């Protein structure tokens, strides 16, 4: 008789717990399915790095040029080396470099170049020197 009472006292799982578990299962399956779909169907394009100047500010004994790099490619670039050059006609007046650890696919990162000369007095050229695939 004690056995019958313990069986009848076993706790049943409430209906709302089944609903939450089902919703969680749907989210997990959807996430995994989306990842597989994107891995199979999306074109794999190399990093496409585009640079934009955000601002030029005077600091201490020099200037900082804040800029952004947008990677519109579908691959991540690691160790992105970027060069900023102040040009006066055909002459390079000053060069500064910055390195980004990562520029993930479809992302925007920000950095800055440090110069001793006023960048507003020159033409600023920004270009990537290279990157590696992670």
> Of the candidates 69, 82, 83, 74, which has an alpha carbon nearest to the alpha carbon of residue 133?
74
64 with 100, same domain: the answer is: yes
C-alpha count within 13 angstroms, C-beta hemisphere, residue 98 = 21
Q: Is 23 exposed, middle or buried (0-12, 13-18, 19+ CB in 10 A)?
A: exposed
What is residue 8's predicted lDDT score, i.e. its pLDDT? 55
What is residue 3's predicted lDDT score, i.e. its pLDDT? 56
> Of the candidates 94, 91, 101, 100, which has an alpha carbon nearest to the alpha carbon of residue 120?
94
84 with 36, same domain: the answer is: no
What is residue 134's predicted lDDT score, i.e. its pLDDT? 85
pTM: 0.69
What is residue 6's predicted lDDT score, i.e. its pLDDT? 55
What is residue 7's predicted lDDT score, i.e. its pLDDT? 57
82 with 115, same domain: the answer is: yes
Distance of alpha carbon 11 from the chain centroid: 48
Asked if residue 25 is part of any domain, the answer here is yes
The dihedral through the CA atoms of 68, 72, 76, 79 has a sign that is negative
What is residue 80's predicted lDDT score, i.e. its pLDDT? 96
What is the number of structural domains in the chain? 2
Average confidence (pLDDT) per 10 residues, the chain, 134 residues: 57 90 95 86 85 95 96 93 94 95 94 96 95 90
88 with 30, same domain: the answer is: no
116 with 65, same domain: the answer is: yes
What is residue 9's predicted lDDT score, i.e. its pLDDT? 63
Give the residue numbers spanning the domain of 23: 13-41
């Amino acid at each position: 008789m004690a056995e019958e009472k313990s069986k009848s006292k076993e706790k049943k799982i409430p209906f709302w717990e089944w609903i939450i578990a089902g919703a969680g299962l749907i989210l997990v399956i959807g996430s995994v399915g989306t990842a597989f779909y994107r891995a199979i169907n999306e074109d794999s394009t190399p990093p496409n790095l585009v640079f934009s100047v955000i601002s030029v500010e005077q600091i201490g004994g020099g200037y900082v040029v804040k800029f952004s790099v947008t990677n519109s490619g579908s691959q991540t670039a690691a160790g992105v080396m970027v060069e900023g050059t102040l040009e006066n006609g055909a002459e390079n007046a000053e060069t500064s470099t910055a390195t980004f650890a990562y520029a993930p696919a479809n992302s925007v990162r920000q950095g800055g170049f440090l110069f001793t000369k006023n960048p507003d007095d020159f033409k600023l050229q920004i270009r990537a020197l290279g990157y590696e695939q992670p």
